[in-house]
Amino acid sequence: MNKLPELSIFFPFWNEEKNVAKVVESAIPVAKQIAEKWEILMIDDGSSDKTNEEAKKLARKYRDVRLISHMPNRGYGAALKSGFSESKYKYVVFTDGDRQFDFSEVVKFIEQIKDADIVIGYRKVRQDKFVRHVLMNLLKIWDYIFFKFYFKDIDCGFKMFRRSALEQIMPLRSEGAMITTEILAKAKRKNLKINEVDVSHYPRKYGSQSGANIPVVVRAILESFILWFDIHNKRI
């Protein structure tokens, strides 16, 4: 596999003190293998544990690792927006910072990005609680009804972008979980080519998920209506 000329990698973190070091340090050797120039961004979204402290240690230890901190917590969408805006290279990839993905599978994305603007992962076997499976399927139905698109795994936290694609869909508005729907809805509107690739998914060992919390779900629904209104009225 030929190396990418340059690659920005970022990981959103929220209360992942036991995961942040393993996520970043396992990504560094992969980054060296797949890109001539690379950077790793840690997006700490207002963690209340020691995530920020651990991330600061990593930023001091490794030259090409940077920390972007939110205070207070703003939401998953806000973390992704910071990752996109702070990334500086031609290709951008992110995975969630909870160690449920194997970053070395980024090689699959690199193969697919050759003839695509965006590559999104789909989990072959999703290792989540039943309620999250239900929410995922409801999201698929919701997005098909309101935004007229269908993908195997809309909210999979492993995606790769060309910088040129990001420039066409930014700025992004959503601060919560509806960020993935906004990305895909805008990409569809811009006729960007999106490829899908299968990825492995692992059970969470440390930390807790917030995607099924009632406030998160309500916020996502409200953001979805705002997004639909903006698209319907050609504001974006």
Q: Kindly list the structural domains of the chain, giving each domain's residue range(s) and its CATH number in brackets, ordered by start.
A: 4-232 (3.90.550.10)
Average pLDDT over residues 169-190: 93
Residue 213 pLDDT class (50, 70, 90 cuts): low
On average, the pLDDT of the chain sits at 91
Residue 108 pLDDT class (50, 70, 90 cuts): very high
pLDDT digits (tens, 9 = 90+) for 2-55: 899 999 999 999 999 999 999 999 999 999 999 999 999 999 999 999 999 999
pLDDT digits (tens, 9 = 90+) for 128-149: 776 776 777 888 888 888 898 9
pLDDT at site 221 = 76
Predicted TM-score (pTM) of this structure: 0.90
Is the predicted pLDDT of residue 212 greater than 60, yes or no? no
Instruction: Please name every residue paired with 67 in a beta bridge, in sequence order, or none if there are none.
Output: 42
Is the predicted pLDDT of residue 170 greater than 90, yes or no? yes
Reduced to 3 states, what is the DSSP secondary structure of residue 84? helix
DSSP letter string, 114-165: TT-SEEEEEESS--S-HHHHHHHHHHHHHHHHHH----S-TT-SEEEEEHHH
Question: How many Å apart are CA 117 and CA 149, to the nearest integer?
Answer: 16
Q: Return the residue matching tokens 């990001």.
A: 166
Which of 21-25, 82-86, 111-115, 129-133 is least confident? 129-133
pLDDT at site 235 = 62
Q: 154-180 b/e with 16+ CB inside 10 Å = b?
A: bbbbbbbbbeebbeebeebbbbbbbbb
What is the C-alpha R_g of the chain? 17
